[in-house]
């Protein structure tokens, strides 16, 4: 199991578009992925779940990943957050 | 540990702020309330100081009757404890000496227009709900014939589509995708949608839809106790699925045991109807009729008869 904390720098926080991008990236992996803010922890592959956290700019979130491709998933999420959600996810539907 | 910020109760009860502390981190950790009559009388051997302190007419009349010197000493001793806040009920005048002592130890003082007993019972029920253990689970909660059915399963298995079909058939959506589950009693869980996404739903290929706007207010409900869990999973030819329903399976959420049904998903299987049937069957069982057992009994009776005959 991997766990890491990130600060969301995107000016809109995790509102609809960045949240969708985030979920899209998380869904590419078979590992179970969660995102937590404060005491609330939701499935990172669920767009409604991620949006329900109401993550704002500057908020810290914790990403928890468990599964066979956990390290790949963590680095992909790390890249996405580091690129401030400008990375365009691959279009190939491989999962 | 769960804690309710004092700002929340100020808002929820429309309290008038007489004195507010600068400390932003004051929280309430228990749903019990203390009426500090005995403390005002000088008894501090046992003092539930972590509770919200409510001052009613009795306490206020007693304080007003004390000589100023003793009164100030008692109040200082009282406020020295780390109390979350003090609320004066009935909209009573808050005397200056009380505010002075509260300020000295930086303890918030509020005023409510409610009558003391009413305030105490409302505070207790508000706090026990706000402090109840809670968890967010991935799944869809629907009210089917009054049964709170929680659909679980991996992303993309078709939970939302099933829920949509159920809504079309006249059932009600509680929450899609993320369900906040609260343990309100030892054997009772209540589920609701996080406020931000309440009554919205995501359908792959369409995007976000608003169920309340689309299907009307009759298609949604704000919260619902969880009665039955349906675990949806891809049909596995190597797995044996329950053919009888004689044995009950359970799942534990926040320490509460709920009956669970594992439902295999295969393209073309109308899951909404199956969920409806599961809910009806659940109601029948609750009313004391168990179809699988009934059939089993008939079979046994026949076998018995043949043996005797």
Band of residue A95 on the pLDDT scale cut at 50, 70, 90: very low
Is A53 within a domain? yes
In sequence order, what are the residues at sequence separation of 6 or more whose Cβ sits closer than 8 angstroms to the Cβ of residue B119?
B13, B54, B87, B89, B112
Q: Is pLDDT at B28 greater than 70 in this prediction?
A: yes
Q: Average of pLDDT values for B274-288?
A: 94
Q: Is pLDDT at B259 greater than 90 in this prediction?
A: yes
Is A94 within a domain? no
Task: Note the pLDDT of residue A89.
Answer: 53
Nearest to A46 among B138, B200, B208 (CB): B138
Task: Note the pLDDT of residue A87.
Answer: 62
Is A88 within a domain? no
Is A58 within a domain? yes
Is A89 within a domain? no
Which residues in A lie closer than 8 A to residue B182 (C-beta atoms)? Answer: none
* Chain B contact residues (CB < 8 Å to A): 136, 138, 155, 176-178, 193-194, 196-197, 200-202, 208
For chain A, how many structural domains are there in total?
A: 1
Catalogue the active-site residues of B. 138, 159, 177, 243
CB B131 within 8 A of CB B31: yes
Is A87 within a domain? no
Q: How far is CA B140 from CA A17, B148, B295, in A?
A: 23, 10, 32
Q: Is pLDDT at A88 greater than 80 in this prediction?
A: no
Q: Average of pLDDT values for B264-293?
A: 91
The CB density around residue B157, as the number of other CB atoms within 10 Å, is 18
Is A90 within a domain? no
Domain encompassing residue A42: 2-82
pLDDT in tens, B93-140: 999 999 999 999 999 999 999 999 999 999 999 998 888 888 999 999
Is A32 within a domain? yes
Long-range contacts formed by A48-51: CB under 8 A, 24+ apart: A48/B176, A48/B177, A48/B178, A48/B197, A48/B200, A48/B201, A48/B202, A49/B136, A49/B138, A49/B177, A49/B178, A50/A14, A50/A19, A50/A22, A50/A23, A51/A14, A51/A15, A51/A16, A51/A19, A51/B196, A51/B197
pLDDT in tens, B211-224: 999 999 999 999 99
pLDDT in tens, A28-82: 999 999 999 988 899 999 888 999 998 999 999 999 999 999 999 999 999 999 8
CB B147 within 8 A of CB B225: no
Band of residue B22 on the pLDDT scale cut at 50, 70, 90: confident
Task: Note the pLDDT of residue A92.
Answer: 45
Q: Which two tokens stand for residue A54?
A: 């109401």
CATH number at A11 reads 3.30.1340.10
Tell me, what's the ipTM? 0.77
Band of residue B1 on the pLDDT scale cut at 50, 70, 90: low
pTM of the prediction?
0.75
pLDDT in tens, B29-75: 999 999 999 999 999 999 999 999 999 999 999 999 999 999 999 99
Could B136 and A42 be called an inter-chain contact, meaning their C-beta atoms sit closer than 8 Å?
yes
């Amino acid at each position: 199991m991997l766990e890491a904390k990130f600060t969301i720098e995107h000016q809109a926080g995790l509102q609809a578009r960045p949240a969708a991008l985030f979920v899209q990236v998380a869904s590419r992996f078979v590992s179970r992925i969660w995102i937590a803010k404060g005491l609330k922890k939701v499935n990172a592959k669920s767009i409604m779940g991620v949006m329900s956290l109401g993550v704002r700019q500057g908020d810290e979130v914790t990403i928890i990943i468990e599964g066979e491709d956990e390290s790949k998933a963590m680095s992909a999420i790390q890249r996405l957050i580091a690129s401030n959600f400008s990375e365009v996810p691959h279009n190939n539907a491989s999962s | 540990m769960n804690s309710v910020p004092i700002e929340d109760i100020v808002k929820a009860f429309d309290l008038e702020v007489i004195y507010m502390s600068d400390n932003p981190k004051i929280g309430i950790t228990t749903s019990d309330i203390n009426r500090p009559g005995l403390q005002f009388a000088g008894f501090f051997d046992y003092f539930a100081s972590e509770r919200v302190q409510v001052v009613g007419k009795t306490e206020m009349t007693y304080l007003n009757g004390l000589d100023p010197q003793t009164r100030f000493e008692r109040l200082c001793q009282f406020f020295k404890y780390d109390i979350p806040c003090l609320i004066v009920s009935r909209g009573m005048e808050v005397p200056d000496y009380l505010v002075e002592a509260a300020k000295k130890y930086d303890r918030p003082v509020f005023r409510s227009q409610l009558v003391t007993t009413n305030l105490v019972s409302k505070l207790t029920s508000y706090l026990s709900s706000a402090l109840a253990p809670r968890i967010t689970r991935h799944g869809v909660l629907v009210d089917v014939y009054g049964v709170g059915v929680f659909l679980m399963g991996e992303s993309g298995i078709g939970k939302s589509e099933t829920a949509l079909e159920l809504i079309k058939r006249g059932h009600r959506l509680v929450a899609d995708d993320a369900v906040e589950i609260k343990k309100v009693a030892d054997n009772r869980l209540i589920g609701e949608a996080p406020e931000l996404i309440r009554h919205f739903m995501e359908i792959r290929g369409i995007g976000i839809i608003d169920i309340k706007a689309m299907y009307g207010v009759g298609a949604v409900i704000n919260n619902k106790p969880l009665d039955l869990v349906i675990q949806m999973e891809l049909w596995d030819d190597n797995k044996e699925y329950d053919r009888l329903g004689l044995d009950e399976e359970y799942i534990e959420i926040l320490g509460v045991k709920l009956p669970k049904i594992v439902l295999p998903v295969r393209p073309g299987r109308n899951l909404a109807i199956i969920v409806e049937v599961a809910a009806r069957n659940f109601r029948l069982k609750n009313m004391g009729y168990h179809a699988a057992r009934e059939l089993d009994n008939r079979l046994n009776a026949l076998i018995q008869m043949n043996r005797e005959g």
